[in-house]
Structure 1
């Protein structure tokens, strides 16, 4: 394993080239990608006072992870109609396109889109998909959806969410996973929901190993997932790291999010570089970009500066992302062509 100090640092020109690279992103929360100005405008339209969740500079304001979840839910409470979610999709993908993202997967929750009712969920999903179709045509960014149950809403609600996912699974809605508070309940409590999604042909991921340690990652693997949201705390168990590499499990790593929330003090202490050197499939994503004051361009530049990763590393990361992407092979091949370096 080469230490970053053994690799040559990159100059400003190299960092600029890296920032401008086309990118694939696997881990974004749809509502969590809502620009604060979008939420403020919607709140004003609805005469809802959300001043308590914003800082003076207009950005989202929260103290810690649990408070972040509370602010997240308050912010998303002004999203009421399918049209709201369609407009949000456009705003989200505009930001993605500005940062060179050509392929994105996003976590969608029927809990926020119709309260778990399948008929209502279909209406919200239709509005999102229509906006995504227009964005692919006009902005060149391809989106796919992953339904997520919310862990702190409990296993019974997760079953209703999985039913929504199973009844709308197709070549656009391609995955199922779980987000929310990792410190509530156990992964195995949600096995029924994951089994329902698997039987519907959906591919599986779950958040694990962000706040809890290696045992949480092992519990997640027992659900039969092929990807892990975050997964970085696995780095504390060398045997588990080796197992992840052997399994080919892909980690949806969100370095900026992990540092912003205090999982790691600084990016230099983040294990993404060490995990990659150990043969684990790692990818780079933004999680909830406006909440964590990040973008894909910023993630790339910060990683390049910290670990001295060159363009070849990021090209490899994008290939890894597309190998693990929950899309059909024709879409995969189309996106890979966009991600290849210019000859």
Structure 2
């Protein structure tokens, strides 16, 4: 069995960021819009740094304007994931992009996405759950509106709440109301931290937002006391090595801290973040990690079990996914 064919779980995937470039170009042509400036000569997304990446991301997202667009997007993304052996995925969804945080419009977008998810599960064998995510640099007031959308639609499909965007904007405590709202609605809590800011930001995020998972979190390695704390508390890191390397946080795979974090007992998982932007797939992530750290099948089984334990889904869904993992153990 190859790494490509082995079942995989992914906890950190931005739906719009996973849109195949060809899909976005095709949608732009249908709408008679010229967004060619966000692609290179090979048709890949083109950006210079993380902040330019955010702008390119928003331009690409701008052609997604209707529930039907998102239904088609979801099918396209899940087809790509399933082809890499992914059997369970959690994706970040932002009401900012899906109806402008209007609850009625959000419900329409969500219904279309969930419809596509059901179709993909039936035809491709991949299960999808949603983490509602305010955009940090849009500010705390808009985050409150997003949290209300999340709380009103929490259930079997919408199972988590997080925050993404420019990590250098404001502080975790500025979003406390939104996270309290989501937590009261029974949603699992995660938060991007420790990507563009260091250990102190991770500590503040843990203290103020109380997530069970941290998106990225790799800069914890700069403070070994924090690393030990993460290991002791069982906080799960949603690590996206290919993304970190593509954006210049680390020069190559061998120097990425996921190996040290795993060695020191931190619960790590592996995801692709925004795969076409970073020229990666879940298979590529596993391949590069196997090469860089000599990880064997046992390590990848551990990654899957960690992801399953940390997943924001109900016990019945976890039991179904566990059965799919049994042949890989």
TM-score of the pair, normalised by structure 1: 0.95
Q: Given the alignment of the two structures, is residue 70 of structure 1 paired with residue 72 of structure 2, yes or no?
A: no
Check conservation: 2:88, 2:321, Cα contact below 8 A. yes
Cα RMSD, aligned residues only:
0.9
* Corresponding residue number in structure 1 for 2:258: 272
Check conservation: 1:315, 1:341, Cα contact below 8 A. no
Aligned positions of 1:187-202 closer than 5 A: 187-202=172-187
Question: 2:165, 2:152 → 1: CA distance?
Answer: 23
Aligned mate of 2:294, from 305, 308, 314: 308
Question: 2:47, 2:326 → 1: CA distance?
Answer: 39
CA offset digits 1:131-155 (Å, max 9, x no partner) = 0000000000000000000000000
CA offset digits 1:241-279 (Å, max 9, x no partner) = 011011100000000000000011111111101101111
CA offset digits 1:191-240 (Å, max 9, x no partner) = 01000101111110000000100001001101110000000000110110
Displacement of 1:18 after TM fit? 2.5
Check conservation: 1:18, 1:311, Cα contact below 8 A. no
- SS where residue 299 of structure 1 aligns? helix
Number of residue pairs the alignment of both structures matches: 328
By relative contact order (CA 8 Å, sep 6+), the higher-ranking structure is 1
* Corresponding residue number in structure 2 for 1:11: none
Unaligned runs of 5+ in 2: none
Check conservation: 1:252, 1:284, Cα contact below 8 A. yes
Question: 2:217, 2:23 → 1: CA distance?
Answer: 31
Question: 1:69, 1:272 → 2: CA distance?
Answer: 24
Question: 1:289, 1:342 → 2: CA distance?
Answer: 24
Question: 1:342, 1:194 → 2: CA distance?
Answer: 36
Q: Stretches of 4+ moved more than 6 A in 1?
A: none
Q: Given the alignment of the two structures, is residue 117 of structure 1 paired with residue 102 of structure 2, yes or no?
A: yes
Check conservation: 1:177, 1:204, Cα contact below 8 A. yes
Aligned positions of 1:156-305 closer than 5 A: 156-222=141-207, 223-305=209-291
Check conservation: 2:3, 2:286, Cα contact below 8 A. yes
Aligned mate of 1:42, from 27, 34, 40: 27
- SS where residue 170 of structure 1 aligns? coil
Check conservation: 2:7, 2:328, Cα contact below 8 A. no
Check conservation: 2:301, 2:328, Cα contact below 8 A. no
TM-score of the pair, normalised by structure 2: 0.99
Displacement of 1:342 after TM fit? 4.8
Check conservation: 1:105, 1:146, Cα contact below 8 A. yes
* Corresponding residue number in structure 1 for 2:7: 22
Question: 1:19, 1:126 → 2: CA distance?
Answer: 31
Aligned positions of 1:312-327 closer than 5 A: 312-327=298-313
Q: Given the alignment of the two structures, is residue 154 of structure 1 paired with residue 139 of structure 2, yes or no?
A: yes
- SS where residue 309 of structure 1 aligns? coil
Displacement of 1:21 after TM fit? 1.2
* Corresponding residue number in structure 2 for 1:337: 323
Question: 2:129, 2:328 → 1: CA distance?
Answer: 26
- SS where residue 46 of structure 2 aligns? coil
* Corresponding residue number in structure 2 for 1:7: none
- SS where residue 149 of structure 1 aligns? coil
Question: 1:289, 1:92 → 2: CA distance?
Answer: 10
* Corresponding residue number in structure 1 for 2:37: 52
Moved more, 333-342 or 125-134: 333-342
